[in-house]
């Protein structure tokens, strides 16, 4: 390619980063040493991707309820810790269609409730822990 054709090709690709522009840019870069900075940076400003923050990470995921064994065949134990006194606290089991299968009142801030799953049809269920009208946690339970 002549110098004029290379200039013309650079004008055609301009600021485009689609597939044809990338192919044309590869041709110019590899064969004629006329390269441009990649879309992600390379122009001495650093990468344009999300920069790591120096702020301390304070978000932690605290498990309030655990359901074991999972998958369950005859029973499943729900171990919970509300972190406060129960105020209308319940453990609600719902089937895949969202229908309530079982509701159990929670009487203590910490404890364990055993769910008898022998009467449940095989499938996926959700186990919800509620306190004071708020859903604290939802776990999935597979019944086989």
Tens digits of residue pLDDT in 85-122: 999 999 999 999 999 999 999 999 999 999 999 999 99
Whether residue 37 sits in one domain with residue 69? no
Identify whether residues 71 and 7 lie together within a single domain: no
**The pTM of the whole model exceeds 0.85:** no
Same domain, 105 and 70: yes
Domain residues for the domain of 5 are 1-43
Instruction: Give SS3 for 52.
Output: coil
Phi-psi region of 88 (alpha: psi -120 to 50; beta: other; left: phi over 0): left
pLDDT at 55: 54
Instruction: Supply the pLDDT for residue 47.
Output: 47
């Amino acid at each position: 390619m002549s110098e004029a054709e290379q200039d013309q090709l650079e004008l055609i690709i301009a600021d485009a980063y689609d597939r044809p522009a990338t192919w044309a840019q590869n041709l110019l870069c590899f064969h004629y040493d006329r390269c441009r900075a990649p879309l992600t940076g390379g122009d001495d400003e650093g990468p344009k991707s999300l920069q790591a923050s120096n702020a301390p990470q304070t978000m932690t995921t605290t498990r309030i309820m655990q359901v074991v064994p999972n998958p369950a065949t005859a029973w499943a134990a729900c171990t919970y810790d509300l972190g406060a006194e129960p105020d209308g606290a319940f453990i609600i089991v719902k089937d895949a269609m969202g229908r309530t299968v079982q509701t159990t009142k929670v009487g203590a801030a910490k404890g364990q409730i055993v769910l008898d799953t022998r009467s449940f049809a095989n499938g996926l269920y959700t186990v919800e822990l509620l306190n004071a009208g708020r859903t604290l946690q939802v776990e999935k339970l597979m019944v086989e």
